[in-house]
């Protein structure tokens, strides 16, 4: 199985209903078809990989080095360029289009996207601190962090201390999201549950890193249908 991934945009959330009597919340992602721009072989770098381009970009927005790169490849420039390691480089050719067929045999995927930015947040919101006491003795510091350091020795606040600061707007990865269904005609993929980010957030998808043996909802649905048929 290759480790080729895809890039898409989060459209929003919906709900899928199944005959066994359950409804599942799903996230709908519009997939951007990629194009193989370059092949990297073991002779060049010691491993096999493909460079895949996604999205459109004006030539005027490219750097000189990227203009030279795309002119050598004789292909239209792409906004995003991702490198994926593969087991067999012979399965790919420059110019090939890559779409949802990458996840044809996959049941689960890993999703990376940017969380919604919350701006500057205090310790109670950002780190779930309980705050100081609410008694009469506490004055104007109910939501403060409290002490952040020790004495003259070490005389500093250690790096990584949980304090107030910028919250959100960071890339986060969700592992093993179940694929509920794929719409190849409209380049849509439906994933179980929610993913980080707001609508139109850029989403990176790849085959699940961990091997999951648990049954999917579709498999559970089939087993229930078989039991119902036997009982009849």
Mean pLDDT of 5-18: 93
Q: What percent of the chain has pLDDT over 90?
A: 64
Same domain, 82 and 193: yes
Same domain, 203 and 88: yes
Find the CATH number of the domain harbouring 67: 3.30.160.810
Same domain, 67 and 13: yes
Q: Is 102 part of a structural domain of the chain?
A: yes
Same domain, 204 and 187: yes
What pLDDT is recorded for position 19? 79
Q: Is 11 part of a structural domain of the chain?
A: yes
Number of folded domains that form the chain: 2
Same domain, 107 and 132: no
Same domain, 61 and 98: yes
Q: Is 154 part of a structural domain of the chain?
A: no
Same domain, 225 and 122: no
Q: Is 157 part of a structural domain of the chain?
A: no
What pLDDT is recorded for position 219? 78
* Phi (first) and psi of residue 125, to 5 degrees: -80, -40
Q: Is 156 part of a structural domain of the chain?
A: no
Same domain, 124 and 214: no
Q: Is 212 part of a structural domain of the chain?
A: yes
What pLDDT is recorded for position 1? 43
Q: Is 152 part of a structural domain of the chain?
A: no
Same domain, 103 and 123: no
Q: Which domain holds residue 10?
A: 6-112+170-231
What pLDDT is recorded for position 104? 87
Q: Is 188 part of a structural domain of the chain?
A: yes
pLDDT digits (tens, 9 = 90+) for 30-41: 999 999 999 999
Mean pLDDT of 207-211: 85
What pLDDT is recorded for position 2? 60
Mean pLDDT of 72-76: 86
What the block records as the tokens of 44 is 């060049």
Same domain, 23 and 101: yes
What the block records as the tokens of 3 is 């480790």
Same domain, 13 and 56: yes
Question: 0.75 cut: is pTM over it?
Answer: yes
Across the chain, mean pLDDT equals 90
Same domain, 82 and 33: yes
pLDDT band at 232 (very low <50, low <70, confident <90, very high): low
């Amino acid at each position: 199985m290759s480790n080729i991934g895809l890039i898409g945009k989060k459209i929003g959330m919906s709900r899928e209903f199944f005959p066994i009597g359950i409804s599942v919340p799903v996230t709908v992602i519009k997939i951007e078809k990629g194009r193989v721009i370059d092949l990297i072989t073991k002779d060049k770098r010691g491993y096999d990989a493909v460079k895949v381009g996604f999205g459109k970009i004006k030539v005027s927005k490219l750097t000189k080095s990227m203009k030279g790169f795309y002119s050598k490849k004789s292909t239209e420039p792409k906004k995003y360029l991702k490198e994926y390691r593969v087991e067999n480089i012979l399965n790919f050719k420059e110019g090939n289009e890559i779409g949802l067929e990458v996840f044809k045999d996959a049941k689960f995927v890993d999703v990376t996207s940017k969380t919604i930015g919350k701006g500057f947040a205090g310790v109670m919101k950002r780190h779930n601190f309980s705050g100081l006491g609410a008694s009469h003795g506490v004055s104007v510091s109910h939501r403060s962090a409290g002490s952040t350091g020790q004495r003259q020795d070490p005389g500093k606040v250690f790096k990584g201390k949980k304090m107030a600061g910028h919250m959100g707007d960071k890339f986060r990865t969700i592992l093993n999201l179940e694929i509920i269904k794929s719409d190849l005609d409209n380049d849509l993929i439906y994933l179980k549950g929610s993913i980080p980010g707001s609508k139109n957030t850029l989403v990176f998808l790849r085959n699940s890193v961990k091997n999951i043996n648990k049954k999917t909802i579709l498999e559970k649905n089939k087993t229930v249908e078989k039991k119902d048929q036997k009982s009849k």
